[in-house]
Amino acid sequence: MTTNKTATRTIKRLGVAALSLAIIIALAWALWPAPVSVSSATVQNGLFRETVNEEGRTRLRDTWNVSAPIAGYLQRVMLEVGDTVTEGDILFRLEASPAPALDARSRQQAEDNLQAAQARWQATQANLETARADRRFAEAEYQRYRQLHERNLVSTAELEHRQNLRDRQRALENSAASSVEVARFEVEAARSMLDVGSGQRSVPNDTPELVIRAPVTGLVLSRYRCCEGSVAAGEAILELGRPADMEVQVDLLSMDAVRLRPGMAVRLSGWGGGVLPGQVRRVEPAGFTRISALGVDEQRVPVIIDFDTGIDPAALGLGKGFRIDAEFLIWEGDDVRQIPTSALFRHQGEWAVFVIEEGRAVRRIIEIGRRQGMITQVLEGLAQGEQVINHPGELVTDGVRVRVEE
């Protein structure tokens, strides 16, 4: 009886011990840290391009603004934007400006001036008739005295005196005739003032015109004036350009512009067609300040790009001021070790990554080279094919167990 009771107590003790052990194991399993879920990337060797991308616009290297050389009245400009012109073609015509209209007071003064001019004209005509009569009389007297001198009836001095009187009368007649012409012109001028008193233009056939011709063969880019009317000296009328002189201007950040050199290759895209090759022709020596969309002051430098030989931008449909994307090739390598930029982080002033080794995250210091957007060149510290953790969070520490998500 005593033996059975002892066996029963032993069995109970063993059951309690087994249950306690199971509970301890379950608690340990529950409290044991689970692996951190991470995403990974493989270290690869391949083509690596370091580029600078920016939006630009097309422009013409040279343009010609044709303006009115003098003030006048512009006749209607028949050319339209996009029309082709040849050097020497007529662009537009200028004529004299019409006289301003007269008010009632000025018109009355003009009428009085006309009447006064007509009276002076009549007076000069009368003076001319008097001068003609005196000249005829002086000539007749001279002829009589000349005949008397031939018969020695008058002296030579008397004959010369009559000749002098005749010459003086001829001069007075010429002066009177000139006065008549002057008076006639004054009458015409006074009458013209009344004729243009309403501000009307002169008859086109009777008005001299100034013809402005094209200085170069090209296209009409802009038409600033189309309709007839008065223009001031120097006022722009048309803008001309040659499509063959098309180029691309890209305003780069100054920190990117200093890395460019003339002759660098450029890929042009985003204009509505395929990729067009080009090259850097000039990096402007002066920059300017531009406010970004975020309200930040940016120092920009204009960079000029030429299309490669054989490409006709105008034939492709490109024109002045068209948007275009430019990709500048800074550096290129065929077998470059690279990782995602998102795997990098700073540790004690150096670049580091977490490498997955036997299910654990191992921190490793590396040396990086060039960076291009989401990809970074690795110079030392990683081998091809190793797995690095992308976007390591706060839970990822050196030596922690990790589980790679599919």
| Residue among 56, 25, 46 at smallest CA distance from 280 | 56
Q: Is residue 226 part of a domain?
A: yes
Q: 49 phi and psi, to 5 degrees?
A: -120, 130
pLDDT at 199: 52
Tell me the pLDDT tens digit for each residue of 347-406.
999 999 999 998 889 999 999 999 888 999 999 999 999 999 998 888 888 888 888 886
pLDDT at 394: 85
Q: Is the pLDDT of residue 81 over 70?
A: yes
For the entire predicted model, the pTM comes to: 0.62
Q: Is residue 271 part of a domain?
A: yes
Looking at per-residue pLDDT, the higher value among 108 and 178 belongs to: 178
Q: Same structural domain for residues 80 and 133?
A: no
Mean residue pLDDT across the chain: 86
Tell me the pLDDT tens digit for each residue of 254-280.
999 999 999 999 999 999 999 999 999
Q: Same structural domain for residues 191 and 117?
A: yes
Instruction: Tell me the C-alpha distance between 382 and 375, whole Å.
Output: 15
Q: Same structural domain for residues 224 and 79?
A: yes
Tell me the pLDDT tens digit for each residue of 82-98.
899 999 999 999 988 77
Could you list the residue range(s) of the whole structural domain that residue 288 is in? 51-60+246-333
- Alpha-carbon dihedral 310, 312, 316, 320, rounded to 10 degrees: 150
Tokens of 23: 């509970």
Q: Same structural domain for residues 171 and 251?
A: no
Tokens of 131: 């001068």
Number of folded domains that form the chain: 3
Q: Same structural domain for residues 109 and 70?
A: no
Tell me the pLDDT tens digit for each residue of 20-79.
777 777 665 555 567 888 889 999 999 999 899 999 999 999 999 999 999 988 999 999
Beta bridge partners of 212: 92
List of residues 6+ apart from 233 with CB closer than 8 A: 68, 69, 70, 71
pLDDT at 106: 73
